[in-house]
Homo-oligomer: A and B are copies of this chain.
Amino acid sequence: MSFRVHIRVMPRRGLLDPQGQAVERALGALQFAGASNVHVGKAIELDVAAQDEASARAAARAMCDKLLANPVTEDFEIAVEPK
């Protein structure tokens, strides 16, 4: 089976996120007054061939641990949907 996996890699809470800050300032300047607490990270999408959802998720987690996220500065979240 094949699954579509969405991964979100975000700067770890508490670390400086200059990109999030810059976007927040820019939104403010554009009069989007209601926006706050902005963070910017990476979105990664991929197809994963796996037996079932659980193993697709496990594979994605392994990819994040190994490559897709930096354990020093980033956290990640995984969402899996059947294709």
Contact of A67 with B26 in the complex, beta carbons under 8 Å: yes
Q: A6-B8, A23-B67 given; name 15 further pairs at CB < 8 Å.
A: A23-B44, A23-B46, A27-B46, A34-B48, A35-B47, A36-B47, A37-B46, A37-B47, A38-B44, A38-B46, A39-B45, A39-B46, A41-B42, A41-B43, A42-B43
Can you tell how many copies of this chain the complex includes? Answer: 2
> How many A residues, CB 8 Å from partner?
34
A residues whose Cβ falls under 8 Å from a Cβ of B: 6, 8-10, 23-24, 26-27, 30, 32-50, 59, 62-63, 66-68
Contact of A40 with B37 in the complex, beta carbons under 8 Å: no
Residues of B with C-beta under 8 A to A36: 46-47, 49
